[in-house]
């Protein structure tokens, strides 16, 4: 349950996608990065999207995160029809509903770990002190409470990923989206990060992960496989692959 009571009863699905397509025109050829994706995701689920490189995972996640707009199709987030929203309303949704963890961390290079985690709260008109408190809490949660004053380039990859996760968590979003959260990390650090996700999931956080690693995907409740912009398999975790 979200503390700000933003639950929408009208739609039991947190996310509902209907025939989502994203096409890129490259000269005379048409690249179908996404080609008719329909999927529903419930609150509290941990869903992993898996697929080979170029199958459209990042494109899909960007649309889910309201960063990109689909060429075609319908997207309902929390019962809101996203396609109708203007840029500022989308920014509002990104701020309130979504925590985005990027493939390449995407931290602000000149802000400290704490500054990075505080940044999304700036757009919520939260005062400096409160922001600091909230950011510290989030950093504590990801186990980085002792590195708050370090700049991103003074942190290891795993630590940067934790900062990015803390930044995603600090706004208490409806969904946490992560694009290849372990893509840039060694297996040991990956395990730590995945354990963190597991913990968040057990606390009720809705999680959507994109990965190309089978064992990472297998940690979720549900694994959806993409190929050439289409869903080719949708199964509960633990079900046999073949």
Partner 1 sequence: MFYVILESTRSALISILAHGLRSFLTTLGIVIGVASVIAVISLTQGMSAFIGESFSSLGSNSLTIQSHTPISEAMRGGRARLTPEDLELIERRAEGVASITPILYASRSSQVRYAAQTTFSQIMGTTYAYRDVAQAWVQTGRFIAESDNLTRRRVTVIGKKVREDLGLPENPVNEYVELGGEWFKIIGLLEAKGDVMGFDQDDIVLVPYSTMRSLAGNQSQIDIQIQLSLSEGVEVDDVTRQLTALLRNAHDLAPDEDDDFRINTAEQLMETFDTIINMVTLVIGGIVSISLLVGGIGIMNIMLVSVTERTREIGICKAIGAKRHHILAQFLIEAMLLSLLGGLIGLGLGYGLGTAISSSIDSFPPASIPIWAIALALGFSGFVGVLFGILPAAKAANLDPIDALRYE
Distance CA 182, CA 162 (A): 11
**Residue 123 makes contact with ligand ATP by CB under 6 A:** no
Residue with tokens 């900062």: 163
**Residue 57 makes contact with ligand ATP by CB under 6 A:** yes
Beta strand ranges found along the chain (DSSP E): 13-26, 29-42, 46-50, 72-77, 80-81, 98-101, 175-179, 206-211, 222-227, 230-236
Tell the smallest beta-carbon distance from residue 166 to partner 1 (Å): 12
- The contact pattern for partner 1, residues 81-120, with x = CB under 8 A and - = no contact, is ------xx--xx-xxx---x-x---xxxxxx-------xx
**Residue 211 makes contact with Mg ion by CB under 5 A:** no
Tell the smallest beta-carbon distance from residue 90 to partner 1 (Å): 8
Residue with tokens 């990923």: 161
Site for Mg ion in 53-72 (CB under 5 A): 58
Element housing 51 (H / E): none
Q: Which of 15, 16, 45, 59 binds ligand ATP (CB under 6 A)?
A: 59
Beta bridge partners of 76: 16, 81
Query: Which residues would be at the binding site for Mg ion (CB under 5 A)?
Result: 58
Query: Which residues would be at the binding site for ligand ATP (CB under 6 A)?
Result: 24, 26, 31, 33, 51, 53-59, 212
């Amino acid at each position: 349950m979200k503390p700000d009571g933003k639950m929408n009863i009208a739609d039991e699905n947190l996310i509902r996608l209907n025939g989502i397509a994203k096409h890129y025109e490259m000269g005379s050829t048409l690249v179908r990065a996404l080609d008719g994706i329909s999927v529903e995701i419930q609150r509290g689920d941990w869903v992993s999207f898996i697929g080979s490189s170029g199958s459209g995972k990042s494109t899909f996640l960007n649309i889910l995160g309201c960063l990109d707009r689909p060429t075609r199709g319908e997207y309902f987030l929390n019962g809101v029809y996203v396609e109708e929203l203007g840029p500022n309303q989308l920014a509002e949704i990104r701020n309130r509903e979504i925590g985005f963890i990027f493939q390449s961390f995407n931290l602000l290079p000149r802000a400290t770990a704490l500054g990075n985690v505080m940044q999304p709260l700036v757009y919520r008109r939260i005062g400096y002190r409160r922001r600091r408190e909230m950011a510290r809490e989030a950093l504590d949660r990801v186990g980085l409470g002792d590195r708050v004053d370090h700049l991103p380039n003074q942190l290891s990859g795993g630590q940067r990923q934790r900062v990015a996760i803390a930044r995603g968590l600090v706004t208490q979003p409806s969904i946490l989206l992560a694009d290849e959260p372990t893509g840039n990390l060694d297996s040991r650090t990956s395990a730590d990060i995945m354990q963190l996700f597991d913990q968040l999931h057990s606390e009720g956080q809705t999680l959507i992960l994109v990965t190309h690693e089978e064992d990472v995907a297998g940690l979720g409740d549900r694994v959806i496989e993409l190929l050439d912009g289409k869903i080719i398999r949708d199964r509960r975790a633990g079900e046999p692959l073949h």
